[in-house]
Structures are given as structure tokens and as C-alpha cells.
Structure 1
Amino acid sequence: MENKIPETMLGMKLPGGAKVEAVQVPVPHPGPGQVLLKMKAASLCGSDLKYIYFEHTDKTGGARYDDVIAGHEPSGQVVEVGEDVSDFQIGDRVVVYHIQGCGYCDECRKGFFINCQNPERRAYGWQRDGALAEYMVADVSTCIHLPDFLTYEDGAMIACGFGTAYQGLLRANVSGNDKVLVMGQGPVGQAAIILAKALGAQTIAVDIAEERLEMAKKIGADEVLLGDDQMVENVMKMTNGKGVEVAIDCSGSAIGRHRCLEVARMWGNVVFLGEQGTVTFEPSPLLLHKNLTLHGSWVTSVANMEKLVELLDRKKIHPSQIITHRFPLKDTDKAFEIFATGKTGKVCVCHEMEEA
């Protein structure tokens, strides 16, 4: 491929106050152990929306710097290689794990850069320049080769949403023995439905929005239920009064979390994936007496993300099926506006649209 790299590029920053700021900045160049990626797809995440687009907070993932290019769900192609890089070359297609840790703590050694507590921890689009630009520098320790079957849009879906859902399923050891209920059918909830089915489980999708229940039907949920006051009773009817083996909350709501505990069967597993919010419950009837295992789960590891890429390739699953809206980079402001309605699937900034 021809390697024509311009001197400047378009990038998008999130200054807060529900604003997107377009900037023209120099194209960066990779240092040792890094590659320069020409961005092909970058999807929007609920954490971008909650913690950055509306206001800058440090409720999760550490403080967010004001003056960085946004976007932490990158997928692109290598166009320049830094020194001491042997496993990536120009032309390689990659998906990027969205955090670089210190590299030496216990969690980094496990590949869980997300859990790094040291000052060197820097997330793309939060503390270092991210994916909502024409080019992005990435550390090769965060890069994963993208198989030919998977598109760049698929890669962007993997980087955060599908990886987070997959880790939650791993925590609960989901298999074909299980009926899995997923509370909340936003992008992570939809990813959990798709991956639970890939692992052989039967699935129940729950949401309070009819639009998202329709999306759940399209991606193949075995059952869909409105998250109303009859939901728990309806789940019990479906399961002969026993409940589900695994309940995963992707809603982040107190009601959603509580109902996951209610519908889990004896000796079942409950996983909390949704961020923010609170929950209050009586441990004896809902947790202790049912012998439940309650898991907290946050993102995934580099190694598990590699396994996820292999699974998607082997099962021939396109994560991009949950995309409902696509925008070119220059219309990133419109992408955030539609995503903020809470009625979309995944919203993706597709750089190839600029080239068409």
C-alpha cells in the first residue's frame, strides 16, 4: 500500500457541555514500540457520553484530560511503524485494546491494563489522544491483529463493548447448559446476547424501551421481555418457577440489578456490568439463601480480547450488526446527538465514509 501521510489531520475533542470541538492538529508519529494507525472505524461508548460529552468527571477510569482527541474504540490500519516493533507491519489491520497500563504491576502482567492503579496508566481518548481523528498512535502491546473476516467496524465494536460483555460471560462460566437473562439492551447488552448465544446458551433480553427490544429480536434473542412490574413473574413462568442460571445487568439501574438477583435460580450467577447507580437488597433471601455468586466485572484483558477475536472469526459473527447509525468523522457532533437519545444501538464514526 502507498504510504502517503499528511502533515495535519482532523480530530475531535469533547470539552464538556454536550459539545464536540473539531480541531486541525499535526499528524503524530510513532515512537519505539508504537505504530501509527490510519483510523477506519471508531464507535461511541456510553462512558464517553456520561463522563465526557456532558461533563468531565473522574467517576470511572481516572480523570479525563481536557485537551486530548476523544474516542476509545479504535480500529484501523498500520501506516507507519516505530522502532523495536517486530509483530506489526505496514498494511496490517488491527483492533486496539483501549488502555495502556504501566506494564509492571500485577494487573498489567495479567493483561488487565484496565485495572492498573499506577500513574502511567493512560486510556485512549481519556488521558491520551484517541480514535476520533484521521490517525492515531497506538502502543503495540495494545494492538491485536484483525482477521480478514472481521471488518473495521467489527473491530471497533470489539475494543470496548463486546470485550466487556465477553468478560462478564466468562466470569459466570456461561455455556450451553445455561439460560442467560440480560437486563438492558444497549450496545453492551446486545453484545452479551450475541456472545451468550455463540457460547451455546439460551437468552432472554429485557429492556424498558420497545425500540431496544426490537433490536434484541433482530440480533437473535430467544425471548424478549419488557422490563415492567410483571417481568420477574414472566421469567419464572418461562423457567418452571426456577429462574435463570445466569443474570447479567447491563442497565446500571437499581431496579435492573435487583431484578437480576430476583430471577437468578438457586446456585445461579449474577454479573453486574452496568456502570453508575446504586442498589439496595436484603442479602439473606436474595443472595445467601439462594447460594448465588455475585460478580462485578469491568472491561476485559488483552488476552481475553484476543480470544474473543478468535471466537468471532471462528463462529463467523459480525459485531457490527448492532450498529444502527453511521456518521463520517466531520459529523461526530451529530453522532453524539443521536447517541444521547438512548434509543440507538451502536453509533459508529466510519472514516471510510470520508473517502467514498
Structure 2
Amino acid sequence: MKSVQTGAPGAIAVVDIERPAPGPRDVLLRMRAVGICGTDVTFLHLGGMPIGPDGQTRAVPLGHEPAGEVVEVGAEVTDVKVGDRVVVNPQAAPSGIIGCGGALGGMSEYLLIEDAVVGTSLAVIPDEVPYDVAALNEPMAVALHCVNRSEAKPGDKVLVFGAGPIGLGATIWLKLRGVAHVTVADVLPERLRTALAVGADAVIDSSREDVAARLAELHGTGANSLGQPRPDTDIYIDAAGVAAVVNTALTSAKWGAKLVTVAVHKKPEPIDLGAILRSEMTILGSQGYPTEIFEVTPQLARHWDRFARLISHRVPFADVEHAFRLALTPGAAEKVIVTFGDEG
């Protein structure tokens, strides 16, 4: 079968490998759709996964956002059957995280699910959910964990920085949670249009608008610990990953506001720590999905048409090199899903 792994820096390699044979506790999936993530792009820039201080790397099988169809079931597996449509927990694989340094990658024609257990390593999705939307299960779990970390309540007013897939996913989860007002800030007009389409109450073009002033119009006016006027925004979510976003949140924060960072900051950057004293802001990190990987699945299925708006490009596996070129080109695509055969 064909499988995609990292090649030279900035490129993929499509290689021929043996189709896996499931053991008694395993399941074999025919891939139907796999998302491309920023982590994949990072591996491609590096030319693989670093293995030592001298800059050496090893090739990495790619694809940690898979959705597929069960085609073989081991003799000891009783809770899935051939023909089931499933999403996968890439972190549950005994041989390492699927598509993120482990021995297996979902960007392949077939994927072995080792020690397959429903609710741990995979979950069955309803027939009506398109495979391309099902492939959003993993990144939407990341977005849900961020929202869970925020502990947002219905009466809260929230600003999400960054209208990429995670920021937009967080926006959807916040609104499904009943949060009163969610504003999304970004610098790209098309992203802001998508934010409104998935349920944001308002958007801010941070390339030309004063974020704090606009927030005060939208959320009202509060005060920091010194009594200075600040937007009455309760929660800021950093899904952008740039220092300017963090500093905007810190300097805009009212007393007791909260900042949740889910974006990857690729290098250390200066931030205004002094501003924390003026707001006593709580800063939280959000990494992965300790419990959320299959908590998202029923809601994803129920609202799949809403989540489908996050997908900007659907590219057949036969043209997978084009799919990764899109993902590697800044501004060329938002969310690229690679499809295999009939992805419906």
C-alpha cells in the first residue's frame, strides 16, 4: 500500500509499504479521510523528527487526524465489525502516537489499530456523518479541551484570537456551551467571515481595528486592579500563537480575567509580565485532549454541517503532494482534508 512520510525538508515522500495484517486484538481500517495539521507542517519543515543534538532527523509517517472504514477485525475484538465507520485516538497506539512519531501514520491507504477498544482507541460514527467531517474529530478534541480549561460559563464574554481550525472549533464549542457572547479576532477577512458563519457573535479585524476599543464596544467596560478602565471581557483564548496576541490580552485584561493558550508558540517571545499585576490575570495552557477525544464525537455528529464549514480544501489521495503544498503555503488554505475514494 502507499503511505506518506516526511521526506527532504519541506517535502513528503510517498512510499510503498506492506499492508498491515491485524492480530487477534487489532482492527484494520481503510482510510477514507485524513486531515493535515500544523504539526505535520512542522515535521515537514524539519525533514522528520529530531533524534539528536546534531540536527539529525528520522522519517515520520504522517497523519494523526484519520477517519476510516473497518475492513478486518481480529478474532478477539467484539465491539466493532466490518463496515463500521470510525474515528481514531492517535495517542492510544502502543507503538507510539499515530502520525506524530509513532510507527504508524494515518496518511496511508490502510491503518492498523492496535489493541482496538471502542472508547479508548476508536469510536464508531453514524453513517450520515461524512468522512471528511469525521476527520475533524481529533482537532476538535483539542479545541474542546481548550474550552474546558477556560471553564466558560453562559454569562461570560469571550474573545478568541485566531480563526484557524482550532480557534473556530473553540468558537463552536463555546456557543454550544451556551456562552453569551463570543468575539473572534483575526487579520484575514475570509477567516472572519467563516467565524460568523459558525456562530461567532462578532468579529474584529485586528490588522486595522483597535482590539481593546472594539471589545469595550462589544463587551462593555470593566476595570483592572488599579481601577483603570478595561474591556469587560472575561476570557481570552490564544489560538494564534504570536506574542502580540498574548500582550494584547494582558494589557486589555480587566481584574480577574483569564487567558487560555492553546496555540503553539514556536520560540520564546517577550511578553508584558507587568501587566499581570494590574489585572491578576490567570494564564492557563491547554495541551491535547486528556479526556475529550471521543467526548466530541456525538456533538460532531449532531452538528456536522456546522463543523464542515471549517474545511477549506478536500484533495484526493492521488494528489496528496498538492494537498501538502497547500498546507505548507501560508494563507493558501485553512483546513485541508485528504480523501480516499468515496469519502461520503
TM-score (norm 1): 0.83
Q: Is the 8 A contact 1:77 1:94 kept in 2?
A: yes
State the partner residue of 2:210: 230
2:182 corresponds in structure 1 to: 203
1:171 is aligned to 149
CA separation in 2, counterparts of 1:23 and 1:157? Answer: 25
AA aligned to 1:273 is V
Letter in 1 for 2:111: M
Aligned residue type for 1:281: I
Q: Is the contact made by 1:326 and 1:347 (CA closer than 8 Å) also made in structure 2?
A: yes
CA spacing shift, 1:170–1:317, aligned 2, 3 Å = farther
Overall identity of the aligned pairs, in %: 27
Structure 1 segment 1-356 matched on structure 2, within 5 A = 9-58=1-50, 66-100=58-92, 121-139=96-114, 140=116, 141-159=120-138, 161-201=139-179, 202-228=181-207, 230-242=210-222, 243=231, 244-275=233-264, 276-284=266-274, 286-301=275-290, 303-315=291-303, 318-343=306-331, 344-352=333-341
Q: Is the 8 A contact 1:272 1:295 kept in 2?
A: yes
Whole-Å Cα distance in 2 between the matches of residues 209 and 315 of structure 1?
25
Q: Distance in 2 between matches of 1:215 and 1:74?
A: 24
Q: Distance in 1 between matches of 2:261 and 2:123?
A: 27
Separation (CA, whole Å) in 1 of partners of 2:277 and 2:22:
52
User: Structure 2 stretches of 5 or more lacking a match?
Assistant: 223-230
Tell me the alpha carbon deviations over residues 205-258 of structure 1, each in whole angstroms, 9 at most, x when there is no partner. 111222322322332321111123612222123222233111110111111122
Letter in 2 for 1:162: M
Measure the CA separation in 1 of the matches of 2:318 and 2:174.
35
**More moved, 275-284 vs 128-137:** 275-284
CA distance in 1, matches of 2:28, 2:254: 49
Q: SS state of the match for residue 29, structure 1?
A: coil
Distance 1:190 1:296 in 2: 18
* Compared CA separation, residues 315 and 156, structure 1 to 2 (3 A): closer
Instruction: Report the Cα distance in structure 1 between the residues aligned to 2:183 and 2:336, rounded to whole angstroms.
Output: 24
Question: How far apart, in 1, do the equivalents of 2:56 and 2:34 lie?
Answer: 19
Contact 2:142 2:166 in 1 (8 A): yes
The separation in 2 between residues aligned to 1:227 and 1:57, in whole angstroms, is 34
Cα deviation digits, residues 183-220 of structure 1 (max 9, x gap) = 11111111111221111122111112223223223323
8 Å contact kept, 1:247–1:261: no
Write out per-residue CA displacement over residues 154-183 of structure 1, whole angstroms, 9 at most, x where no aligned residue.
221111x21111000000112321222111
Instruction: Tell me how large the CA RMSD over aligned residues is.
Output: 2.5
Taking the aligned partners of 1:261 and 1:304, their CA distance within structure 2 comes to 28
SS in 1 for 2:255: strand
What is the CA distance between 1:32 and its match in structure 2? 4.0
Structure 1 residues 273 and 69, CA, compared in 2 at 3 Å: closer, same or farther? same
Question: What is the deviation of 1:152?
Answer: 1.5
Alpha-carbon displacement from aligned partner over 1:39-84 (angstroms, at most 9, x marks no partner): 010010011112335533459xxx9974453111000111111243
Determine helix, strand or coil for the equivalent of 2:296: helix
The Cα of 1:147 is off from its aligned counterpart by: 2.9
Q: How many residues align?
A: 324
How far does the alpha carbon of each residue in 1:120-142 deviate from its partner, in whole angstroms, 9 at most, with x for none? 64333532221111110113232
Task: Work out the CA distance in 1 between the residues paired with 2:56 and 2:90.
Answer: 14
